[in-house]
Amino acid sequence: MNEKLNLMKEFTKGIVSENPIFVMLLGMCPALAVTATLETSLGMGLLVIFVLTLSNVLISSVRKFIPENVTIPAFIVVIATFVTIVRMLTQAYAPALFDALGIYIPLIVVNCIILGRATAFASKNKVLPSLIDGLGMAIGFTLAISLIGILREIFGTGAIAYGVYLPLGIQGSILNIDSPLFNIAILTGPAGGFLILAVLLAFFNSRKIKKAEKLKAERKRLAKEKRAAKAKEVTA
């Protein structure tokens, strides 16, 4: 029961409390470069889910055989292998996504989230927790960049297109808002990535600060109540 709870915690921490984009600020390069539309973000996220989960599993299972001195080169070899597989699969089955992501697919090799999880988690933990950790982190990353992608696409083009980059079989767009306010061209450009990321970071940080303050106040109140109760006991 306890172990199950721990696994659940390993999974959710990547999505909420240790979100790679909004909390740890890792993997900023793809978060800024490929998030112009929802579909490219989602595509990038799927590739990262695949690579991060499998590399975490493999690294965790061979962690006892890797000599101390060559851990990083060994991790890079493992990650690069999975990225090569992913790259070839994307080129074969989703050529539009392959063209849209371009150089950022091979660059997943040096994505700091993947190497970071390999050194910080997979090389020290058993296979199952590593799998859960990798999956959670990658899903957190995907959700975060998808959020950036949605905002950039809605405010930049006024619609959410589907089937353009991902091979869904159907093509179209939803939410077609015909208003100049939803046609801010700067957001689809490189500067838009920075702007949206900054706004979202400010939002999440302010929520975090407020939560911490609330917790502090709550603790103070509890301590005070305890003290009051004690004093009452003494007087009684």
Partner 1 sequence: MSDSQEAFVSRAITGKKLLYLEGALGIVLGASFVIFGWYVLVIAAVSIALSVGVDFVFAKAKKQKIDESWLIFPLLYALMLPPSAPLWMAGVGVVFGNLFAKQLFGGYGRTIFHPAAVGIMFLMISFPALIFGWYDPEVFGWFNPFSQASLDALAPVMPLHQINAGGSSAWSLLDLALGSVPGNIGETFGLLLIALGTVLAVLKVIEWRLPVAIIVSYLITAGIFELFGATGGTIPSVFTGSLLFGAIFIASDPVHAPVNHKAIWIYGAGIAFITFIIRYFATFAEGFIFAVIIMSAVGALVDAWLTGKEETA
Binding site for partner 1 (CB under 8 A): 180-181, 183-187, 189, 191, 195
Q: How far is the CB of 184 from partner 1 (least distance, A)?
A: 5
**Structure-token match 């899903």, residue found:** 139
Q: How far is the CB of 81 from partner 1 (least distance, A)?
A: 42
92 or 181: CB nearest partner 1:
181
15 or 148: CB nearest partner 1:
148
8 or 199: CB nearest partner 1:
199
17 or 176: CB nearest partner 1:
176
Angle of CA points 121, 213, 6, to nearest 5°: 30
Q: How far is the CB of 157 from partner 1 (least distance, A)?
A: 12
213 or 218: CB nearest partner 1:
213
Q: How far is the CB of 51 from partner 1 (least distance, A)?
A: 35
**Structure-token match 């949206």, residue found:** 196
- 13 by Cβ neighbours in 10 Å (0-12 / 13-18 / 19+) ranks as middle
CA distances to 130, 197, 204, 205, 217 from 210, rounded to whole Å, are 32, 20, 10, 9, 11
Q: How far is the CB of 190 from partner 1 (least distance, A)?
A: 11
Q: Could you tell me if 71 and 184 are in contact, meaning their C-beta atoms sit under 8 angstroms apart?
A: no
How is 175-203 classified by DSSP, letter by letter? -----GGG--GGGGSHHHHHHHHHHHHHH
CA 86, 92, 94, 98 dihedral sign is positive
